[in-house]
Structure 1
Amino acid sequence: IQSMSQLDATYGKDLSRTMITNHALQIVYAPREQQDANDYSEMLGYTTVRKDSFTRGREFSRSESEERRALLLPQELKAIGFDKEIFFYEGIPHPVMCDKIKYFKDNYFTQRLLPAVKVQPLEVKV
């Protein structure tokens, strides 16, 4: 599917969510629709980041705090580009970002390509 809205339009929101969650592997490419980017960002989850802040006045002070942040914000997901993908796999407890494999540029896959099948043209009598 190209976007979740395609699946929602065909099967309805509840059934489409059930179908998606029943797959052991989900691959996410850079989304075009904002709603998809929001959904994927939510699926990726959150992390804790440390923030340092500095204050200058009469005295210099430094403080450190922790805050929750999305692993990837929706706008960051939309910007991952054509060469990256993220996948969720049932046996792996966290999402994985990786480079997309382009079979036509990878020697391992191009060696396995079979020649195109020759199909005889059909003769249609009108």
Structure 2
Amino acid sequence: MTQIRTARTPDGRRLEVSHVLSVPAVEAWDALVDTTQWPEWSPLVNGVEATDHRIRADTTGRIRVPGAWLPFRITSCTARRWTWRVTGFPAAGHRVDDLGTDRCRIAFELPLHGTGYVPVCLRALENLEALLEGGETVDQ
């Protein structure tokens, strides 16, 4: 089940794009914090160089997107939620909710003015579902 809604987050009201997957929350979380997996599910990230293989608060590095390398810094990384800044600007928050019995919800939290980024999040969720549930990722 995919959902797009306005929600309260630790960063205030945000646009939340989420999808329920049939995998344990720990597996989904591992995909989100393992920088080597970002190019496998992100429709925009083609490469990553980071100070940490698994992100934590204050991990820094850069991501390769079509045409450029962009610097990033992880601003928070707590129990199944992380946020970052890309080129100094707040970017999407990433969260995994444990729904029990090998089910979880992956959510991307966007600023309310970030509606143009919703299609990118939807593609990333499709790719995560395919990656984690054993299918093929969607062509990028």
Give the TM-score band, short-chain normalised.
under 0.3
Which has the larger share of helix?
Answer: 1
Which has the larger share of strand?
Answer: 2
State TM-score, norm by structure 1.
0.23
Which of the two has higher C-alpha Rg?
1
Which structure carries more relative contact order (alpha carbon 8 Å, separation 6+)?
A: 2
State TM-score, norm by structure 2.
0.22
